[in-house]
Chain A
Amino acid sequence: MISTNDTRTPINGVRHLLSAAAIGMALMVGSTAQAATPGITGTGAVQTFNLTAGPGVITQPDGMQIYSWGYGCTTPASATFAPFPGSCPLMQVPAPTLIVTEGKPVTVVLTNSLPKGAGNTSILFSGFQVTGGAGCVAGLRVPEALPGGTCTYTFTPTAPGTHSYYSGTQSDLQVEMGLYGAVVVLPANDSVAQCTNTTLHPGAIPLATLGGFNGANDDYRLAASALDHPASCYDREYLFQWAELDPNIHRQAEVQANFIATCTAPVSSGTPAATNPTNLPCPSSLDVLTEPYHPRYFMINGRSMPDNMDANYAPNYPNQPYNANPHMHPGELTLVRAVGTGRWQHPFHEHGNHVRILARDGFPILAQTNATGAACTGAACPLGGRMEFDTDTTPGQTLDGIFYWSGKGLNWDIFGHTPNVASDVVLSLTESGHTVTAATYTPNAVVSSSGPANYATIQGAPSSAYNGYLGTYPITIIPCAAPYTTGNTCFTYTATTTGLPAFTQSTSVGTFAPAVLVKQPTTVVTDSDQNPTCAPDSNGYYTAASPSPGPATRPTYTGTTMSGGNRNYYEWCADHDHPLEANPVGPVAGGGPATLPDPLVMTNGLWYNGTPYLGPDAVNRSRGPTPLPPGGALQNPPAESGIAFMWHSHNEREITTNDVFPGGMLMMMLVDPYVWYIDENL
């Protein structure tokens, strides 16, 4: 449903409300887009950025096109990008992410192209010692650029990590209008060299592939570590900037800016011009009411869900280049860079695991002693930051944190592994007690699988068609004949089978129900993923640090195809082969604790791969002959078969777009199997 309570009138011929039908037809670029921390790098020994503050339009999933202000690149054609090529328009929300290196000087030349009447503007680089230079005029907090003018800021970043920048001029309006962005400071120390702890980090993307900012193989990092601290090493990184938006403020700004731009001076007689029908003196500056504040859009990286899960630099969001669409493989250390913007705090809930807070505003949070209680300094100190499942974002504040997902401790094998079994069932029945009182009964200690004619007959033995699958198949045991029909329990059979649990069936004559027997395959299933090796390393995972029969090899990719390595890399070995389901499905053994629900009373989610398991081979195994999910999960296609987790604001009203759920500050994080190449370039 599209809300109709926003009665905005089209201001000019360009922008208009989209109809619901048009929204339904909106493009979706790259159904499996992924993310990284894209941005621009400075040019030259002094890292120089030329930014422009100017007006433009951003779009929201309900079809609204919202007049906004943003920082963009003064000369888009000359921008340089990391970790992969992109675009940097004249105006964008959020601003270009500035990627700089600790200790190297930075120069930012800001051009004020805000509309007439908007007054000065500026950049406040939170936490940096900034000097204003050419063209700047004094502002209250920071040097400012006059309308149409420029202001040059210089500073040398000293604290690695994620920082924020935003307008320091009339911030209640200018930040709301979109003048905010992030600075990523890469550590000066050789971040590769300090990331050699394979115990802490056995899942590392091979360090040799780091460094081109170009997504070599599957590496999309800007650096190997977030901070000058060996515990801050990571494999993937995602930047999330959280901001809410009140469309009434933007509407006022647009109307006023348009009027000021076109207003003609009053005339003393005659008919006022259409551009000034009131015939009053033209206003010289905007007078936008920023209270009461009533945001209706809740954005991550300038986009609301689901737009934020489309690709970086997607052409349908020309002024909103950055997405929020994290993916990761099991065990990969994922750096979460979060920036609070706007006015409100947002509790950022990461489903799936906790986040270890490394730093706030680029300041590492460290213990005061080492593990033996001795004083320590700097990188010698263990981490002291909290582990949180809700990482609060506060306006102007940033955090760097590490997240990973490994599936440890579920008590079931999320890869659906099952040992191969080579032999067929050998069934024999032992009659072990009866309460038949009829005198003519003659005990028969052992019956064969064919059964003595006068006591029991087994029918419906499993067909060879089921070879290769464990399953539940009906057999029928015809119990003793008429002489023993006294109404008492006739027999208790205990089936002894090769490698199978005891099978007990007792009954009274005439009410014998079909029995159930587990049939094992007569041939070894050739799916090499059904029961791979899992040798625990010192953390319990199957990794490059695993002892014999390890080590495992982290998968490598040729293009986007896995070309080597172990698909179950980073498996939690203690749960290896442990069944989840009580009943076997396909070649996946039963015996586990849970019976899955009747699918007829369930609804499938869009990211649900159709099974509890991770990876296409596990999905294929565990769903047996049943085609699941119906039609495929568009956002999690069968070849991916990841497992999805929602990352969102837990002030839940903020996961809406202009009163419509779902929307707003919401994204899906996918844990993908290693067989799935995570192409963050999309």
Chain B
Amino acid sequence: MRRSAIYCGSLLALGLLTAAMPAGAQVPYSPSGSFHVQCPGTTLLHPTAIANTGGSVLRDATSEPDYTGPQALAANGNGVPLTYDYNGGTVKCQEISGGDGYMTEADGNQTFMFSFGPLSGLGLIQNGQPGTLFATDFNHPYAVPTMLNGQPNPYCTASTLNPSGQPCTAAPTSTTDPGANGALTDPAAIMDTGVMNGNIPAPLIAVDEDDEFFLNLTNVGMIMRPDLFEQHTVHWHGYPNASSFYDGVPDASLAINIGGTFTYYYLAPDAGTYFWHCHITPPEHLQMGMVGQLFVRPRQNRVPVGSSLYQSAAGCKAVPGIQGGACPAGDTVGSAYMGQQSDLRTACNPSADILCSVPLPQAPSGGVGMVQGAYATADPLGRYQAGDRFKYVYNDGDGSTRYDIDVPIQIHGFDPNFHFVGMTFNAEPFSDMKDKYFLLNGRSYPDTIGVAGYAGLAANTQTNANCDPGSTAAQCAANDGVPQSQATTQNPNPTTNAISTEDSDGYSRPSQPMPTLIKLYNGTTTTIGTPATCGPLGTSRCGQRASLRIADLDVSEYQTLASLGLPMQLIGFNAKLLRDQAGNNLYQTSNSITLGGGESLDVIIDSTGVPAGTYFLYTPNLDHLSNDAENFGGLMAEVVVLN
């Protein structure tokens, strides 16, 4: 038999696919059977769990230990003394389903998908936020009374308080409540929630460098395609020095059958913008929608306020062959300044490693350079709070990738003919694939900016500009004139901004949670808490900076995204900082970027000095500015600059 016939896929030699391993005398595998969700509270590398003291699952780097350089950590691995290099981070977990679902195109067409959906972090995902949770939050019981298919939550009956301490007749009061986000680990709960719960993009993942990340994928089957028994996997696209086992290529590892859970284990790698997707029959499963976004935040975010970013990166520990500047006075091994160059895993020495990630920048005058800061005041839209540390896209060591607002953007294209065929029983025509819908975060314009499309529900009268991901329900309700009770029936939901789609079982589920509407204050009149060097109001100001984490998952064409009137500074490409091995930044400023399928890059849009107004992100591939037959829409979104 030729090799081609033994691949996984819907089209070929299905009878050969299920060569399962026999169970041995020992039981090294999951003893609890097929649905086995893993999220250990502690590990050898992270022996201490981080409790949730604030009540919200939105915990950023400030919830984690400061990064003060590597520490040797003694551990006992089953009686074996081991040493780990500890750089902070913690255990984080996420759970997703692989199955099917429907989404709503901007022209109202309901489109069938093979898709991933959230099985943890449901509250966050509906808000367009990463569904990645600290272990303590992941392991918190899910306390929303009703599952997405209308079934009651078996762990939350009317006579009990839910784990959030509320009566189970009411849902948790906030989408950031642990009870609205805890993982579903019971088979019934998994199926009640995961079936038909496909999202586009797939659930957003965000971890911090040095985290251990447990990603649980459960294959819940595809209700609309009972003839298929498709496996699914997760490919973390771009993971450096990946293991084959957790790379998600079914030919080189395991694929998850219907009814099974696979727990992918990763040590969060170098900071950057990655993405993920199913790797089963990629031209089919990617086109059908199994594509998600993923980014890793740098440990530079966790440097204590006041620390030199350069010294945090450069370090002073004597390591043979490691590049590093002279130690500043008082900086000794073990001090807070001891940095990434002290640990060979996090160090970069271009003269010794041709693939090291982020070379040190050229040493700043005086050896200190930029220092870590924190916001003096909260973002007017609630996207960061006073006291939050500044964030960076990479461990730049010079502060040049600082930004205020994360904007994940996924470029994709749907071929409605392929999706229709994919809902039926025909073989798909791969070489005839022709995308007709061009999607930013699973939506075409005008749905990209959260305006109601033709979703079949009540028209959204909301005009409030404050209904962003991250703004509270009160902020939305206060300004759009629509009581929140009514607002929840609107599509998109003005609280979460998620577009819902009615599925074939009659239940409407959030299918497209992420608008692409970027709001930036240019700092002219509104206090936004940027660095002190930016000066007070009325002087030379810094505006807010958006980090556009752009990935293209289109399976058939290259795509260009242009900005009308706003410069785009390209700072990273394929999850790596643009910096030569001499330490010079190679950033490029332009009005457009181009990506092929399977590529990602980082762009910063800086609103400094930009007049207030609405600007557009759009594709100059002009035939992509359409929604199938509508000669309008497509790959376009808006950037709103506010004074």
Contacts and interface: CB of A to CB of B under 8 A. Distances in A.
Contacts of A3: 427
A612 to B, nearest CB: 4
**A586, A628, A629, A645: residue with the most chain B Cβ atoms closer than 10 Å:** A645
Interface stretch (B488-496, B555-563, B624-632): B555-563
**B78, B321, B322, B357: residue with the most chain A Cβ atoms closer than 10 Å:** B78
The secondary structure that dominates the A interface is loop
A597 B262 contact: yes
Contacts of A412: 265
Contacts of A61: 2, 4
B4 A590 contact: no
A548 to B, nearest CB: 13
B599 interface: yes
Contact of A591 (B77, B238, B240): B77
26 contacts: A1-B11, A24-B1, A368-B580, A372-B362, A384-B580, A414-B243, A469-B26, A500-B79, A539-B321, A578-B77, A581-B28, A589-B79, A597-B263, A600-B34, A602-B256, A606-B251, A628-B21, A643-B245, A644-B249, A644-B251, A650-B597, A652-B286, A656-B283, A659-B432, A661-B283, A661-B284
Interface stretch (A126-134, A204-212, A387-395): A387-395
Given A367-B581, A625-B26, A645 B249 contact: yes
The secondary structure that dominates the B interface is loop
A486 interface: no
A209 to B, nearest CB: 22
B265 A580 contact: yes
A122 to B, nearest CB: 30
- 9 closest cross-chain pairs (CB), A and B: A650-B598, A601-B260, A626-B24, A538-B321, A347-B596, A643-B244, A599-B21, A612-B245, A540-B344
B212 A593 contact: yes
B80 interface: yes
**A370, A387, A594, A651: residue with the most chain B Cβ atoms closer than 10 Å:** A387
Given A418-B80, A591-B78, A594-B38, 19 more contacts: A345-B596, A353-B241, A368-B582, A370-B582, A373-B582, A383-B350, A384-B586, A389-B238, A408-B241, A411-B45, A497-B79, A579-B78, A593-B40, A598-B33, A599-B21, A626-B21, A626-B26, A646-B252, A651-B556
**B3, B214, B279: residue with the most chain A Cβ atoms closer than 10 Å:** B3
Given A418-B80, A593-B44, A656 B574 contact: no
Given A593-B214, A630-B19, A382 B350 contact: yes
Contacts of B256: 597, 601-603
B430 A656 contact: yes
A36 B431 CA distance: 31
Nearest to A595: B30
Contacts of B77: 577-579, 589-592
B18 to A, nearest CB: 6
A629 to B, nearest CB: 7
Given A387-B576, A472-B26, A594-B263, A608 B253 contact: yes
A382 B581 CA distance: 5
B186 interface: no
**B36, B80, B598: residue with the most chain A Cβ atoms closer than 10 Å:** B80
A417 B433 CA distance: 47
Interface in A374-392: 376, 381-384, 386-390, 392
Contacts of A11: none
A648 to B, nearest CB: 8
A295 to B, nearest CB: 7
Contacts of B252: 605, 607-608, 643-646, 668
B457 interface: no
Given A295-B431, A599-B21, A501 B282 contact: no
Interface of B: 1-9, 11-12, 17-30, 33-34, 36, 38, 40, 43-45, 76-80, 82, 84-85, 212, 214, 231, 235, 237-238, 240-247, 249-257, 259-263, 265, 267, 269, 279, 281-284, 286-287, 319-323, 344-345, 349-355, 357, 359, 362, 427-433, 554-558, 573-576, 578, 580-584, 586, 596-599
Contacts of A595: 29-30, 36, 38, 263
A527 to B, nearest CB: 16
A663 B269 CA distance: 31
Given A383-B354, A383-B580, A661-B12, A598 B29 contact: yes
A369 interface: yes
Contacts of A599: 20-23, 29, 254
B249 A604 contact: no
A490 interface: no
A177 B184 CA distance: 56
A353 B2 contact: no
B26 A23 contact: no
Contacts of B43: 592-593
Interface stretch (A74-82, A273-281, A398-406, A556-564): A398-406
Interface string A20-64: 000110101000000000000000000000000000000001000
A201 to B, nearest CB: 9
B243 A410 contact: yes
A265 interface: no
A81 to B, nearest CB: 27
A580 B28 CA distance: 12
**A366, A499, A598: residue with the most chain B Cβ atoms closer than 10 Å:** A598
Contacts of B212: 411, 593
A187 interface: no
A662 B9 contact: yes
A392 B431 contact: no
A591 B558 contact: no
A607 B29 CA distance: 21
Given A306-B2, A598-B34, A646-B249, A536 B354 contact: no
A597 B261 contact: yes
A405 B78 contact: no
B344 A536 contact: yes
Given A345-B558, A347-B597, A626-B21, A659 B255 contact: no
Contacts of B249: 351, 605, 644-646
A369 B583 CA distance: 9
